[in-house]
Amino acid sequence: MPFSNPLHPLWKPENLRRAIHAAGVALWSWNVIDDGFAMDEQAYKLWGLVKSGEVKFEDLSACIHPADRDRVRAAFTATRGIVGSYEIDFRILVEQEIRWISARGLGDDTALHEGQMFGIFLDVTGRKQAEEGHELLAGEMSHRVKNLLAIATGLTNITSHSTTTAREMAEELTARLTALGRAHDLVRPLPGNQGRAALLGDLLSVLLSPYEDLGAFKSRIRVAVPRMGVGEASATALSLVFHELATNSLKYGALSVDTGILDVSGSADEEHVELVWTERGGPPVQPPDGNGGYGSKLVHRSVSGQLGGTITYNWSPEGVVVVLRLKAGKLAS
């Protein structure tokens, strides 16, 4: 093989240094007697230190992330008892930046040469950040699936109490889950730091679109709300609330007749968002007896719990007016 020749240009010291530098490898040696460290220029750069004549292990320890410091000290001390190669990954602080370093070498005193232990440092920040990103994504997906399963279970229980036949239950539950699905499809990052999910107007338009073509004319549903982002959790809660309001309107209110009109408007300040659901052109409406059914309880629970707000009803003869006053911070989460 061409590289087996010791006279090959690769084995020239300056070329070996170039190869090591190109690979991002930093060299170090540790004097186990006086605790002194010797490092090349790449190592000083990696640790964010000014090159000096002598570096002690304690000087490096001061740069190690406090959460990793004791572990690294113990690991380096234990390397003298390790037979063969070892690898230690830890974080260091360079000004305000966190870097991940992998220290690698050979353990056991038989690997010492004139009291010196040798090894390399590698910057593995990119790999560690990718691993953390994968773990975060896996945790987020697990959390999301658990939430959806819990919501589906609760909807099934509520629907079973609010319906009388299996067919009616299947239709109502399917409609509620479909509303959740439409809201879930809109969950995505938004440009311009507007939040992570959907724009409020887009979300409401999608949720109400199935009821648009049920009347005698188009544009019977109007949506005019502030342009703002809606977070994933609040998108789910809002989808349940507005599906419930639309379902009630389809049964008893403006959407139950061809000439009925629904208007959803809104306003916002720094702390609150107010959404107003106004029905007109439908049959006369009356407030429900008692505390309402399970659907009403679901709406109140979603508004007060997940959205940190309130909901009020005005049962005017012209049509019901529903006012939701929500916390802006909750809406964006």
Residues 150-208 have pLDDT tens digits of: 667 766 776 777 678 888 888 878 877 776 676 556 555 545 555 555 788 888 888 78
- Which whole number is the average pLDDT over 119-139? 81
Which architecture characterizes domain 2-123 according to CATH? 2-Layer Sandwich (3.30)
> What are the boundaries of each domain within the chain?
2-123, 129-331
Question: Is the pTM value of this prediction over 0.85?
Answer: no
- Which whole number is the average pLDDT over 125-144? 74
Task: Return the pLDDT at 191.
Answer: 53
Q: Are 155 and 175 in contact (CB under 8 A)?
A: no
CATH fit for domain 129-331, picks 3.30.70.260, 3.90.1150.10, 3.30.565.10, 3.40.50.300:
3.30.565.10
8-35 confidence digits (pLDDT tens)? 555 566 666 676 766 778 888 888 777 7
What distance, in Å, lies between the first and last C-alpha atoms of the chain?
Answer: 61
The crossing angle, in degrees rounded to 10, of helices 125-162 and 232-252 is: 20
> Which is more confidently placed, 109 or 174?
174
- Helices and strands in the chain, H and E counts: 10, 13
Residues 6+ apart with CB under 8 A from 128: 89, 100
| Gyration radius from the chain CA atoms | 32
